[in-house]
Amino acid sequence: MKGMPVSRLMLLVFVFVSVVLMLGPVRAEAAKKISGSVGKGGKTKVTGIFPEIGEINLTMLNWGFAADDPAAARAGVVLEEIEVEKEVDRTSVPLVQACAGGRSFPEVVIVWNTGTGDEPSYLELRLYSVKVTSYSVNGSGLDDGSIPTETLSLNFDKITWSFAELRGGASGEISFACDEDNLCAVTP
């Protein structure tokens, strides 16, 4: 495969995933909760999607929101989908199936901690009614032995964002509830 153009390699990966999906779908039952944590080094672990597969290691998480209309009397926020990146591994096919089949996960929890094992979590995102809405694979850098990565987008109806100060300072929690138009408001 050395010297193979990335586009050809991407096509081979797509064909491989398609054949696996057609010939032998993975028998995996979705758990009711996806949990994850990120250590000080930026490593995120997500477990519980498919219990028999185990944990999923994420290499990136990106999320944000913006005021719908800052000048409005009752301002809401529009939440972006959460985008995560991971290396291609044995969880790839079930995640593609979740995206293609429109499978919904009732609750997803992502927790950041220091990774030292002795300190509590300091940031938690708790998502509800979660769907994998997009999937893409990236095969750049394969000529140096790198593993392809894949990017997934997670859509959700509600999110609770919690923060706890690590050194005894302030902590707090904020929740957003969204309507069918993805207009969200802070909830008590």
Domain extent at residue 61: 6-187
The whole-number average pLDDT for the span 63-71 is 75
pTM exceeds 0.85: no
Residue 171: predicted pLDDT: 64
- Residue 104: give its domain's CATH number: 2.30.110.20
Tell me the one-letter amino acid at 59: T
CA-CA distance, 37 to 55, in Å (whole number)?
Answer: 11
- Among 6-10, 78-82, 96-100, the range with the most confident prediction by mean pLDDT is 96-100
Alpha carbons within 13 angstroms on the beta-carbon side of residue 19 total 6
Is residue 16 situated within a structural domain?
yes
If one counts the domains in the chain, the total is 1
Is the predicted pLDDT of residue 1 greater than 60, yes or no?
Answer: no
Tell me the one-letter amino acid at 23: L
Torsion from C-alpha of 122, 174, 49, 138, nearest 10 degrees: -80
Is residue 1 situated within a structural domain?
no
